Structure formats: structure tokens, C-alpha cells
Amino acid sequence: MEYTQDEIFNIKYNEQKNRIETKKIGMLQKIGQAIRNNKFITMVVIMAIMMSIINSIMISNFFILLSSL
């Protein structure tokens, strides 16, 4: 039971300080966990990256077309 609580609450026992401490999770790690756990967020991120790439390609092609006129 204690192991389960330790994993859920992200706590550990520090033997040097003789107390229980929480494990600190960075902001990027939280975002990475959310993306790995939620497929909808993953799809939205992938679609946003794809749309940005397509948009920049279309803009560059438009400028090439304008410069040729």
C-alpha cells in the first residue's frame, strides 16, 4: 500500500534529512506526460505542426510567383 501511495503522490523518503519530500516535475515533463497520455492532444499538436509547415511552404511559393511577374 505504501509503494502505491509513493508512486501516485510522487513522494520519496530522504534518509539524509530524515523526512519525506515530493519529487519535483518540470513544466516540460508535465507537458510531455500530457501529450503521451492524451491522444487528442497529440493529434492537435501534430496537425498544428503540419499546418504551419504547409503554410510557410505556400507563402514562399506565393513570393516566388510574385517575383517572377
| For residue 41, pLDDT beyond 90 | no
Residues 30 and 8 in one domain: yes
CB atoms under 10 Å from CB of 41, counted, come to 13
Residues 48 and 60 in one domain: yes
pTM, two decimals, is: 0.53
Residues 5 and 32 in one domain: yes
Residues 33 and 43 in one domain: no
* DSSP reduced 3-state for 1: coil
Higher pLDDT, 50 or 12: 50
What is the domain range of residue 65?
39-69
Residues 25 and 48 in one domain: no
Residues 20 and 31 in one domain: yes
Number of domains in the chain: 2
Residues 17 and 43 in one domain: no
pLDDT of residue 56: 98
| C-alpha dist (Å) from residue 43 to 25, 29, 34, 48 | 24, 18, 12, 9
pLDDT of residue 24: 74
